[in-house]
Amino acid sequence: MSDLEQPPADPDEVISSPGIDMFVPGHAPTNAPLNERKQARRENWRLIRRRPAFLFGVFILTVWVICALLGERITPHDPLDFRAGSHLSPRWEFPFGTDATGRDVLSRVMAGARDVLRIAPLAAFLGVLFGVILGMLMGYLRGWFDTVASRIVEAFLALPVVLIALLAVTTLGSSSWVVTGVVAALFTPIVARTVRSAVLAERDLDYVTSARLRGESNLFIMFREVLPNVMGPIVVELTVRVGYAVFTVATLSFIGAGPPPPSPDWGAQVSENYNSIISGFWWTTFFPAAAIASLVIAVNMIADSVQSVMEAS
C-alpha cells in the first residue's frame, strides 16, 4: 500500500478537532462525555455521603419524615384530644407538657410534621422545575425574550415576599394546594435567575457549538446538552429551596394563612401559644419552634454539603 493510500473510514468513527467532536453522515458520536458525567456524579455522591454534616442532616430529616408518614399511629396521645390538664409542665407522661386546652404538645409536634413535609418539598420541587425551564429559555435564547423575562423577574424580586404570599393566600384560600402553588411561584424567579447565569456560561462552549453544527434543535441542545452540565447549581438550589419552603410555610401558618385550628401545624402552634411565654408556659411555643428550626437546619446542612462538593468538583 502506498503512502498516499488511506484505510477505509470506520463508519462509527468520530471526526474530532481540538475541543469539538464533529458529527458527519456515516459517523456516530461518542458516549464518552456522557460516561464522564456519570462517573463524576457517582464520585460526587460518594463524597457527599462521607460528610458528617450531610449524615446528621439526613438523620434529622428521616426522623421527621417518619413522623409525617406514620402520624397518629406513633404519637403517645391523640394530638387533638383535650384529655389532660391545661399547661401541664413537661413530665414523664407528657414529655413536652400540654397546651392551654390540655392537648399533648409532643403528639402535636410529631403530627404537625405531616403538614410541613406535605407542602414544602413539593413547593420547592415545582418552584425549581418552573425556574429551570424559564432560566434555560432566558439563558440560551437571549434576545427580546431574555430582556423581557429578566425585567419581570427583577421586578418580582423587588417585592416583599411574605406580603405577596399573604395576599395570594388570603385571596385564593389557605388550602394545601394554594399554599404549595404560592410558595412555588415565589421561588420560580429566584431559581430562574440562577439557572440563567449557569446557562450563559455554557451556551458558547465547544460542545454546544458542535451540537449546533450537527443541526440539533434548540430544545435538544438546551435539555440534552446544556442541562446535564448545569445540574450542580440546580441540585443545590433544590436543597436550599426546601429549607426556605419549610420556613415560608411555617411563617404563613404563624400569621394565620395556613391550616386552621385545631390543626397541629407547627406555625399554627407557635401562633396559638406564643402569648403563653409571658405566663411562664414556655414549652407550648418552644417545642414547635424547635421542630421548625431543626428541620430547617437539617435541610441546610444537607444543602451545604451538596454545595461544597459541587463547587469543588
Tell me, yes or no, whether 3 lies in a domain: no
Reported as half-sphere exposure (CB side, CA atoms, 13 A), residue 79 has a value of: 23
C-beta neighbour count of 112 within 10 angstroms? 28
Tell me, yes or no, whether 252 lies in a domain: yes
Determine the structural domain holding residue 138 and report its residue range: 15-312
Residue 98 β-bridge partners: 104
Query: Residue 16: what are its φ and ψ, rounded to 5°?
Result: -120, 150
Burial 167-193 (b: 16+ CB within 10 A, else e): ebbeeeebeeeebbbbbbbbbbbbbbb
38-47 contact pairs (CB < 8 A, 24+):
40/313, 43/313, 44/309, 44/310, 44/313, 47/309, 47/312, 47/313
Tell me, yes or no, whether 68 lies in a domain: yes
- Residue 97's contacts (CB-CB under 8 Å, 6 or more residues apart) are 87, 88, 89, 90, 91, 105, 281, 283, 284
* pLDDT given at position 33: 54
Return the SS3 of 4.
coil
pTM: 0.80
Helices and strands in the chain, H and E counts: 11, 2
Cβ atoms of 233 and 194 within 8 Å: the answer is: yes
Query: How far is it, in rounded angstroms, from Cα 137 to Cα 132?
Result: 9
Cβ atoms of 241 and 127 within 8 Å: the answer is: yes
Which amino acid is it at 85? Answer: G
* pLDDT given at position 174: 78
Query: How far is it, in rounded angstroms, from Cα 292 to Cα 250?
Result: 7
Residue with cell 435539555: 223
* pLDDT given at position 35: 64
CATH number of the CATH domain containing 277: 1.10.3720.10
* pLDDT given at position 85: 78
Cβ atoms of 108 and 78 within 8 Å: the answer is: no
Query: How far is it, in rounded angstroms, from Cα 270 to Cα 266?
Result: 6
Query: How far is it, in rounded angstroms, from Cα 46 to Cα 39?
Result: 11
Tell me, yes or no, whether 7 lies in a domain: no
Query: How far is it, in rounded angstroms, from Cα 283 to Cα 96?
Result: 7
The total number of structural domains in the chain stands at: 1
Show pLDDT as tens, one digit a residue, over the chain (313 residues). 444 444 444 444 444 444 444 443 333 444 445 566 667 777 777 888 888 999 999 999 999 999 999 988 898 888 888 876 788 889 888 899 988 888 999 999 999 999 899 999 999 999 999 999 999 999 998 889 999 999 999 998 888 887 888 888 888 887 889 999 999 999 999 999 999 999 999 888 888 888 888 888 888 889 888 998 888 889 989 999 999 999 999 988 888 877 777 788 899 899 888 888 888 889 999 999 999 999 999 999 998 888 888 777 6
* pLDDT given at position 55: 93
Tell me, yes or no, whether 5 lies in a domain: no
Tell me, yes or no, whether 51 lies in a domain: yes
98: DSSP letter: B
Structure-block grid coordinates of residue 112? 404537625
Residue with cell 429551596: 241
